A = this chain, B = another copy of it.
Amino acid sequence: MARPRTAILSREIIGRAAIDYVESGNELQLVPLARRLGVSVSSLYHHVSGRDGVIHAMRQVLVSEYMTEGPVPGDWAQRIRGEVERTWRMYAAHPRVLQHMMTVVIDEPDVLRFYSTLADALAEAGLPDGEILTTIEVIDAFSFGAALDALSPDTVLGAERATGKLAELLPGHPSGAARNRLVFDRGLELLIAGVEARVSAYRSAS
């Protein structure tokens, strides 16, 4: 007979089970999660502190898979592209977990390293200190918006009721995963170009 699952319960096992559970379309609740793991809710509490603790455990699992590689080489824009690509891949592969991850404070060292790298890259770009954190939050908000965009139906807009320019453009537009990838790439380029424009404006004003 196999050993009972309780003997091997850990924060990581809880995090992985919760990721599967949430990505299968279930609401994150401790009782059914414990049942799925074949343990009691009080056993969960030996490893994680409640629902927020489960969310931290989910993030830790994903971060260890997507965000522990070393620094991306290159100039500030290349470093931003490389770093943001990793988080976007993490978000896009787990859009339902993402919606929970956003609700708890970020204190995982690998995630803080990611934000630190963006801060250093934006400072190197010449962005004033007062704009760096908000710009990071903009890039992050765009990344998770673009990741959630992957939940969209293959065709987002109903072309038969569209008119004018929109109606003219819809038939040739890519759909599905190609459309979603294009949204991420183009959006990141537009934001980087926006940062460059902002830096130029500051330089010519000073």
Contacts and interface: CB of A to CB of B under 8 A. Distances in A.
Contact of A152 (B102, B158, B170, B190): B102
A63 to B, nearest CB: 14
A142 interface: yes
Nearest to A91: B145
A164 B116 contact: yes
A60 interface: no
A112 interface: yes
Interface string A122-143: 0100000101111101101111
A116 to B, nearest CB: 4
A112 B178 CA distance: 22
A115 B162 contact: yes
Interface centre among A133, A143, A146 (most CB of B within 10 A): A133
B186 A190 contact: no
A65 interface: no
Contacts of A31: none
A119 interface: yes
Contacts of A195: 190
Contacts of A193: 193-194, 197-198
A7 interface: no
A76 interface: no
A153 B103 contact: yes
17 contacts: A104-B153, A105-B158, A109-B161, A112-B163, A115-B157, A116-B165, A119-B169, A120-B165, A129-B168, A132-B165, A134-B173, A138-B190, A144-B145, A144-B148, A193-B197, A194-B197, A197-B197
